[in-house]
Amino acid sequence: MPPSERFADALNAQIGREYAAAHQYTAIAAWYDAETFPRLSKFFYDQADEEREHARKMTDYLLETGQTVRLGEVSAPINEFPDHVEPIRLALEQEKRVTVEIDRLVEIARETRDNASEIFLQWFVSEQVEEEDTIGSLLQVAERVQDFPMMVEEFLARDGKALEG
């Protein structure tokens, strides 16, 4: 049984949000790169790649279930930041919004009795727990060392593997 039209529409919208997140993470990475924070830059370039991978998984699911993929516009990201903490704060807010949207998709799957889509979404539910934890931890460190931004680079050099998903 294919997903409902309501679910397919909601998943198409989520694909757009995933690409928007990738776009924002690329802008954050470029900002950190320009500010000579190479480890933060790499971290966010990797995050951008991950968001594109999420969009691709969703696209593949729609195609595998015979649904139409409808890609929409992606808004311009925020490109300028007042300090090294604000991009991470923005990233955490973005991840929290994505969590809400993934939860809405689960609700739609349940309401439409679409077991296959609900099971498909479980990976994304778990992924969002990990994403919020990772970005949240990075934000804690950045706020703690606000006056010494290179300490965030040092943290990523020492503990970056712990943050990788």
DSSP code of residue 71: -
Would you state the structure tokens that stand for residue 153, as one six-digit string? 């680079």
Domain of 130, CATH number, reads: 1.20.1260.10
With 0-12 / 13-18 / 19 or more C-beta atoms within 10 angstroms meaning exposed / middle / buried, residue 45 is middle
The alpha carbon dihedral of 34, 35, 37, 43 has a sign of negative
Look at residue 161 in the predicted model and tell me its pLDDT. Answer: 55
Would you state the structure tokens that stand for residue 99, as one six-digit string? 């969590």
Give residue 26's domain range: 5-163
27-68, pLDDT tens digit by residue? Answer: 999 999 999 999 999 999 999 999 999 999 999 999 999 999
Look at residue 34 in the predicted model and tell me its pLDDT. Answer: 98
CA distance linking residue 69 with residue 155, whole number of Å: 40
Kindly indicate the confidence band of residue 165, based on its pLDDT and cuts at 50, 70 and 90: very low
Structurally, the chain folds into a number of domains equal to 1
